[in-house]
Amino acid sequence: MSSSVIDLLATEARFGANNYAPIGVVLSRGEGVWVWDTEGNRYLDCLSAYSAVSQGHCHPKILAAMVEQAHRLTLTSRAFHNDQLALFYQEIAALTGSHKVLPMNSGAEAVESAIKSVRKWGYEVKGVPDGQAEIIVCADNFHGRTLGVVGFSTDAETRGHFGPFAPGFRIIPFGDAAALDAAITPNTVAFLVEPIQGEAGVIIPPAGYFTEVRELCTANNVMLVLDEIQTGLGRTGKLLAEQHEGIEADVTLLGKALSGGFYPVSAVLSNNDVLGTLRPGQHGSTFGGNPLACAVARAAMRVLVEEGMIENAATQGARFLQGLKDIRANTIRDVRGRGLMLAVELHPEAGRARRYCEALQGKGILAKDTHEHTIRIAPPLVITSDQVDWALEQFATILTQDFS
């Protein structure tokens, strides 16, 4: 490492809150699936900023839309209308088949907004007694970092010493429809769940789970809220992960790739009932729905469809998954994934996944460990067959070594 890189790392360590432990690479440029560090080394990005950069780094059409809009108008607040918001609503509703849209900024804000909305729906439409609304969530969930959200996390690091937390949440195991059935009461307003648990290590529920979940929610007048902030917008090889089971959520949360990585944009999508309960003054955000965000999101959705990225995620995801399964290595305990949301789980004796990610960096691959023993792989959806094959060669080299 050059002295200037060492200076940057030291400056970060000195002034920054120490809430991350990044891999030791300082990036300064990106294009498509590639990123470059300050010393000119090139890496294939197998994290895509946790799926926010699905369209590839610095996509030229999203960039052009952002620059063009930034020259015209960036922020009006919702005190006034702007000429991008209606078009954003129209296009996201057409893409996803939703009736109503609430624009926010970060993913966690979308989750918070959904919680507020389904509670309000519960009191005003379902008839739950005031203050009694219950929301069911899953163990090992990840829905963001705000106080409301970490309060129903089951991860000790995420919750530890941040309480007291808001009541009104019940936690059940993920992938267990009988547990949902047992947890529903007359006061249950919603079931909030990820279609595939990403941060937990790309945990895919048993086939048929979401069909049963949908039936239980419908039968009990419980809103099914799918957090598709990571799985949505093509990541799993379909526009929305719910389509793998042919179901429709009542409320869908999008974020991350909604801006192609240019700017924080999130959205709550719902049927008429849930978002229809919000009245002027009851919820808001200074930046939510601003013209710059809308222009960026419109371009991000357009290139996803026009450039065939969703189909590419299905094709290259299948190729990547098969290639990983074909690697014969004693270190590997399990390989799983859907579309380009993939994971390699290592045997505990093989050593920590972090060591493998550091070794992969030396081979020109940036990937991220999760939960000690799992390497998560989520490249931009624009990856080509040749790039997948090259990546597989690097994975094969590293996974057949022992870093215990």
Ligand X SMILES: *Cc1c(COP(=O)(O)O)cnc(C)c1O
What are residue 160's DSSP bridge partners?
none
Residue number of the CB atom closest to ligand X: 107
- Nearer of residues 113 and 394 to ligand X, judged by Cβ: 113
Phi and psi for 36 in degrees, rounded to 5?
-120, 140
- Binding span for ligand X by CB under 6 A among 8-16, 58-66, 100-108, 363-371: 100-108
The residue (of 225 and 399) whose beta carbon lies closer to ligand X is: 225
d(CA 32, CA 53): 9
Nearer to ligand X, 134 or 194 (CB): 194
**Catalytic residue check, 15:** no
In the complex with ligand X, which residue's Cβ is closer, 126 or 238?
238
* Residues whose CB falls within 8 Å of the CB of residue 220, separated by 6 or more in sequence, listed in order: 184, 188
Which of 37, 227, 250, 369 is flagged as catalytic? 227
For residue 151, with 0-12 CB atoms within 10 Å meaning exposed, 13-18 middle and 19 or more buried, which class applies?
middle
Interface with ligand X, residue 270, by CB under 6 A? no
227 included as an active-site residue: yes
Distance CA 110, CA 95 (A): 18
Q: Which of 37, 176, 194, 345 binds ligand X (CB under 6 A)?
A: 194
Cα–Cα distance between 183 and 170 in angstroms, integer? 8
Q: Helix or strand or coil: residue 255?
A: coil
Asked if 110 contacts 267 with a C-beta cutoff of 8 angstroms, the reply is: yes
Q: Is 235 in the site for ligand X (CB under 6 A)?
A: no
Specify the residue, 323 or 339, whose C-beta has the smaller distance to ligand X.
339
320/157 Cα distance (integer angstroms): 32
Among the candidate windows 30-38, 142-150, 153-161, 244-252, which touches ligand X by CB under 6 A?
A: 142-150
- Is 256 a known active-site residue? yes
391 binds ligand X (CB under 6 A): no
Which of these segments, 10-18, 19-27, 80-88, 106-114, binds ligand X (CB under 6 A)? 106-114
Q: What's the rounded Cα separation, in Å, for the pair 267 and 109?
A: 9
Pattern 24-63, ligand X, x by CB under 6 A: --------------------------x-------------
Among the listed residues 45, 256, 369, 395, the single catalytic one is 256
- Establish if 142 lies at the interface with ligand X (CB under 6 A): yes
Residue 224 and residue 217: Cα distance in Å, rounded? Answer: 6
Number of residues located near ligand X, criterion CB under 6 A = 15
**How many other CB atoms are found less than 10 A from the CB of residue 344?**
26
Token pair, residue 169, equals 């949440």
Which pair of tokens denotes residue 403? 């870093």
Q: Which residues here bind ligand X, judged by CB under 6 A?
A: 50, 106-108, 111, 142-144, 194, 198, 227, 229-230, 255-256
